[in-house]
Structure 1
Amino acid sequence: MGQGQEVKTKTEPQVEIQERGEIFFFYRPKVDKEEAHSADDVQRLYIVLRPESGERTVEVKQDSDSGKEGAKKGSKGSESGSDKSGIEGGHGSQEVNIEKQPLLRFIVMGRKSLPDPSKRSRPYWGFVKMVTTNIEDVKTALKGEEYDTKTKGHRQTSPARALGEGIYRILRHKPGKKTHTHLIYKLELPPQDEKNEPQESLNIEPEGSFLIQIKNPDQHGTSQFRGLQNKRKAVFPAHLHGQFGQLRYCPADPPDFLNYEGCEFLLISASDDIEEELGLELRTEGESDASCSDLVRTFGETASTSALLKGTWV
């Protein structure tokens, strides 16, 4: 459906757009459950960001031969804090022209919902599990899996389900002396006249604004956010790593931080009314039509689209 457009509704909005693109939401039912019927049946929430334009046409990402993009096809690790594959965060760097080549960030949220954008709730932790220019890599991550365990025998995970599709922006906000960064989005699907039960249960509102802060991989986690094991933490290039100094977190400026596997971040509720908060209106392209859906066209054969198109669990 494209990256849409933003319209400034205040004379001098204190925002600068860093990145524009498409955002996709997915959820996976719990192990050995074929379907989820409520939030209690959800195992994991995923976000896929596909940047399509920004301050620069070319973005820098980890080298394609490192991390999961360079791993052998079919090798998959756990989505929790312990990755059995032993794959480390990405090393090296490569340039990607995001206007000519797909760049996909596969993100795992630590909790199975977003922070409630209508409330100033506590931060939610997440991390970038995969960065790739190959759409098939994301399809593989969304598929189901069967495996054996020593204690519980044969287990099965169902394929992920598509939950939402829309447009997003990462932007600088300068309300005073201190600059911070926001991740904002607006959904195109599901249509707003549907029930939207799964979306409401997982706090995927029609639009939302969150402060986004990148975690310093050299700083130890807290009791609240223990974070990834050392071998899985991001390995940022010097020009990014140097922005932390002694800080535990820094703004996602530039968004290139998110182009390295193992990048950990916090999302903090800011508002459920982007225009009121930032003086910016996000406008999607065209009608909420499945025939125009990039998510359905790209991932529809892998991820069920009932929640996306009907706003129902099944």
Structure 2
Amino acid sequence: MGQGQEVYKTKTEDARVEILERGEIFFFYRPKVDKEEAHSPDDVQRLYIVLRPESGERPIEVKQDPDSGKEGAKKKGSDSGDDKGSSGSGSEGGHGKQQVNIEKQPLLRFIVMGRKSLPDPSKKGTPFWGFVELVTTNIDDVKSSIQGEEYDTKTKGQRHTSAARALGEGIYRILRHKEGKKKPHTHLIYKLEFPPEDENNEPQESLNIKHEGSFHIQIKNPAQHGSSTSQFRGLQMKRQAVFPAHLQGQFGKLRFHPADPPDFLNYEGCEFLFISASDNIEEELGLELQTEVVEADESCSDLIKTFGETASTSPLLKGTWV
């Protein structure tokens, strides 16, 4: 599928946006515990987003040390042959640093949304909280995060979680947006290739995953703890990201900072806010995202090639729950 391209609808010298990162975006949902299928949003347990950056303002990005967080736990579990360890039970946030060339090496961010949907484009200004659950250069780590599992509980005995369902696939950009004399802010924008726009798209519409969307994205300062009246409880301190000094220093005393650079998202435990900006990217930002898929054939789907053996693809291809 590839990262597509952006076409500016305004003159270059008038452009108000600068692309920080380009890549592919995948959406998944997981049915509630002990449910084999979801038939409505009420049956959905979690909404996941996977970002795979492929190019950007800088080809080299900084990510967490591969021995930290869940990435490290999965690595240790794989080395020891311990299935429990390989399932990613690490409880610490990402820390340390490693350089990754995103144009040559796969980098995947597995993101959990706090609510079971994206923000409603008609309700601008309402923030939705989310966090980075896993950062890895190993595709199998993400596969293990979306697969189903059986586990025992003391009160309800054996429980079952179904594998995640593939919900959407497309291209995304993280960009810097300048408006007059205001301080620049950042957007995450995307455009879907799957499911096709002319399909039913019932689960996508129910979870506010439009054919294209634009969100302000703000990174939470892990050193600034919310008050008891904050509407976002957030992660426990031990699970929060520990950014290197050159990233942490950009916050100063502020509680939030734009996703500039996008390297913030390369740390497990990075918390952020999505705030709906628009569902018409061209009108809002003066550019159009163009995907590389002309006809939506499953042979063109990178999601299916990468995760198809793990995640059910009916919602992705047919735009239906089952």
Name the residue aligned to 1:246: 253
Name the residue aligned to 2:236: 229
Between the aligned partners of 1:176 and 1:264, the Cα distance in structure 2 is 28
Instruction: Look up the equivalent residue of 1:251 and give its one-letter code.
Output: P
Instruction: Look up the equivalent residue of 1:225 and give its one-letter code.
Output: F
Query: For 2:140, what is the secondary structure of its paired residue?
Result: helix
Whether contact under 8 Å (2:212, 2:279) holds in the other structure is yes
Name the residue aligned to 1:29: 31
Question: 1:101 aligned to 2:109?
Answer: no
Which of residues 116, 136, 140 is equivalent to 2:140? 136
Name the residue aligned to 1:125: 129
Cα displacement string for residues 87-139 of structure 1 (whole angstroms, at most 9, x for unaligned residues): 21112111111111100000000000000123315100000000000000000
Instruction: Look up the equivalent residue of 1:191 and give its one-letter code.
Output: P
Cα displacement string for residues 191-244 of structure 1 (whole angstroms, at most 9, x for unaligned residues): 111100000000000000000000000111353101000000001000000011
Whether contact under 8 Å (2:70, 2:90) holds in the other structure is no
Between the aligned partners of 1:111 and 1:17, the Cα distance in structure 2 is 28
Whether contact under 8 Å (1:220, 1:226) holds in the other structure is no
Which of residues 166, 169, 174 is equivalent to 1:165? 169
- Give the helix-richer structure, 1 or 2: 2
Q: Identity of aligned pairs, percent? A: 80
Cα displacement string for residues 215-274 of structure 1 (whole angstroms, at most 9, x for unaligned residues): 000111353101000000001000000011111101000000000000000000000000
RMSD between aligned residues: 1.5
Name the residue aligned to 1:185: 190
Instruction: Look up the equivalent residue of 1:258 and give its one-letter code.
Output: L
Change over 3 Å in CA distance of 1:121–1:174 after alignment to 2: closer
Whether contact under 8 Å (1:119, 1:271) holds in the other structure is no
Whether contact under 8 Å (1:86, 1:231) holds in the other structure is no
Between the aligned partners of 2:195 and 2:216, the Cα distance in structure 1 is 24
5+ residue gaps, structure 2: none
TM-score normalised over the length of structure 1: 0.96
Name the residue aligned to 1:299: 307
5+ residue gaps, structure 1: none
Which of residues 60, 63, 83 is equivalent to 1:61? 63
Between the aligned partners of 2:84 and 2:239, the Cα distance in structure 1 is 15
Query: For 1:120, what is the secondary structure of its paired residue?
Result: coil
Cα displacement string for residues 270-299 of structure 1 (whole angstroms, at most 9, x for unaligned residues): 000000000010000022221010000000
TM-score normalised over the length of structure 2: 0.93
Larger mean Cα displacement after TM superposition, 131-140 or 9-18: 9-18
Instruction: Look up the equivalent residue of 2:202 and give its one-letter code.
Output: E
Whether contact under 8 Å (1:214, 1:264) holds in the other structure is yes
Change over 3 Å in CA distance of 1:19–1:297 after alignment to 2: same
Question: 1:19 aligned to 2:27?
Answer: no
Whether contact under 8 Å (2:26, 2:169) holds in the other structure is yes
Aligned runs of 1:209-288 on 2, under 5 Å?
A: 209-222=214-227, 223-287=230-294, 288=296
Whether contact under 8 Å (1:105, 1:131) holds in the other structure is yes
Change over 3 Å in CA distance of 1:174–1:121 after alignment to 2: closer
Between the aligned partners of 2:22 and 2:235, the Cα distance in structure 1 is 28
Instruction: After TM superposition, give the deviation of residue 176 of structure 1 in Å.
Output: 2.1
Instruction: After TM superposition, give the deviation of residue 57 of structure 1 in Å.
Output: 1.0
Query: For 1:40, what is the secondary structure of its paired residue?
Result: helix
Name the residue aligned to 1:9: 9
Between the aligned partners of 1:75 and 1:216, the Cα distance in structure 2 is 32
Whether contact under 8 Å (1:210, 1:270) holds in the other structure is yes
Whether contact under 8 Å (1:115, 1:121) holds in the other structure is no
Larger mean Cα displacement after TM superposition, 95-104 or 160-169: 95-104
